[in-house]
Amino acid sequence: MALYSVANRTTSGTTATAAEEVIAGSTVEHKIFELGLSLVAATASTYGFGRPGATGVTPTSPINLLAEDGGNTSGSTAGTSQAETAIAWGTGPTVPANFARRASLPATVGAGLIWTFPRGFITLKTLSTVLWNLATNSVADCWVVVDE
């Protein structure tokens, strides 16, 4: 088991758009064990988490997840996973047909949530999951922990 994680600040709070996408590598699936966020502005916000109908195309500056063990035992000399996150795209991911999680947060800076998946939320090769804006939301600081 090799754990990887990364934190991002979302850029879109626009309703009916993706706030963040977690994209699996082309040759390996991953399991999400934790996804969390905290609000940066005092804006009541409603988020959903699920698998998009279509993965985003041409992510802008995708960020690889970092090995929590520093790359010592993960098998990756760079200490990064194949999984990556994106917060902007040429064409964004589409809305999930159903959400695995939904939450509403009060208009309080720092209000947040942590979704845990004890057995892992599996994302197959080349597919993704999204944190979806179900309302006009605050920009948020997000993090994700995966196992590859």
- In tens, the pLDDT along 43-88 reads 999 999 999 999 999 998 899 998 887 666 555 545 678 899 999 9
At 109 the pLDDT is 98
What value does the mean pLDDT take over residues 18-40? 95
- Amino acid (1-letter code) at residue 119: R
pTM, two decimal places? 0.92
At 69 the pLDDT is 79
At 1 the pLDDT is 66
Q: Which helix (H) or strand (E) holds 24?
A: none
At 72 the pLDDT is 62
At 80 the pLDDT is 73
| Strand arrangement of the beta sheet that strand 140-147 belongs to | 101-105, 45-50, 128-133, 17-23, 80-86, 63-67, 3-9, 140-147, 30-39, 112-123
Of all residues in the chain, what percent carry a pLDDT higher than 70?
A: 93
